[in-house]
Amino acid sequence: MYYIVTGAAGFIGSNIVKALNDRGIENILAVDNLTRSEKFRNLTDCEIQDYIDKQAFLDALLSGRFDGKVAAFFHEGACSDTMESDGRYIMENNYHYSLSILDWCMGEKVPLLYASSAATYGGSGVFREERVCECPLNIYAYSKFLFDQVVRKRLVEADSQIIGFRYFNVYGPREAQKGRMASVVFHHYNQLRALGKVKLFEGCDGYADGGQMRDFIHVDDAVKVNLFFLDHPDKSGIFNVGTGRAQSFNELAVANINTVRAFSNETKLSLEEIRKHGVIEYIPFPETLKKKYQSFTQADLTRLREAGYDAPFDDVEAGVARYVRWMNARNSHV
């Protein structure tokens, strides 16, 4: 029986593949689009049964090739560029492709664990898994939002597990291939190496410089949530995957800077001291992001905890330090 992972060479997908390997699971069908071939590096330390291109896979899936052969389906593949302006591409890639997978999983009674996004909340100030709280600000968010609406309607008739994960700001190993869409933690570390400082946006929406707040979650924690639900196929629904704790971009930068300083046995600095040393540079808020930017996010974890997931989540100080040490050990842009 296969474990299928779409977006398997991507950020969260490759971490799921690695976590399955750690459980002794190697009969994994990795599905992705390697037009950007450098993504293959995310799978070089993983064991998989086979790799198939995402379009060839969908054709094979719908032809019946995998009927009766799949234990679980992790659907992580998507275009995650929130600045992508080609709405037709986004909707075909994120919405229609996902609908085909949903139909197949329901027909085959295969557990479907898929990536939604906290972007579905958009301009809302309440981050609870309810329709009234959802207000997508861009076409990427709308594509995820629309699929979630279909899932909600289908849940009442489903005979198998369907789980949607509303990921908040995920950071951690195996994200380098995302380029400009990689996490701020990744970019800060590489800015420190190249420039000796990090760049943050000036204030907006009533927040001070670098004071915008997000719910930042380490990818290891996001993967643990996936595996929890894999182990509990009786549970279905849409769940937030964040820490439940909003922290500022300033805090994110301070954690990164102080971890790097520790490599040279330098003492920790406060935000005020870091500013005085010029290690943070505040840059103008981009015009292209105005009215499309979430200045505050914080996952409401009520439903996740009620579902039985009780493990703690790393805060920024712990998670960023662990990730920066991981990058530094490789001493490259990874």
The full DSSP string for 176-189 is: GGGGGGS-HHHHHH
Beta strands (DSSP E) in 127-236 are 162-167, 169-171, 198-201, 213-214, 216-218
* Dihedral in degrees, nearest 10, Cα atoms 186, 115, 117, 41: 20
Q: How many Cβ atoms from other residues are within 10 Å of residue 76's Cβ?
A: 25
Where does residue 45 rank: exposed (0-12), middle (13-18), buried (19+ CB within 10 A)?
Answer: exposed
Beta strands (DSSP E) in the chain are 2-6, 28-32, 50-53, 70-75, 112-117, 162-167, 169-171, 198-201, 213-214, 216-218, 237-241, 247-248, 280-283
Cross-strand partners of 75: 6, 114
> Catalytic residue at 292?
no
Distance (Å, whole) CA 18 – CA 15: 5
Selecting among 54, 178, 199, 235, the annotated active-site residue is: 178
Distance (Å, whole) CA 271 – CA 293: 24
Selecting among 97, 114, 140, 293, the annotated active-site residue is: 140
Distance (Å, whole) CA 95 – CA 327: 34
- Residue 331 phi, psi (nearest 5): 50, 40
Structural contact between residues 111 and 159, judged by C-beta atoms closer than 8 angstroms: no
> Catalytic residue at 178?
yes
Please report, as a single letter, which amino acid is at residue 191: Q
Just list the catalytic residues: 140, 178
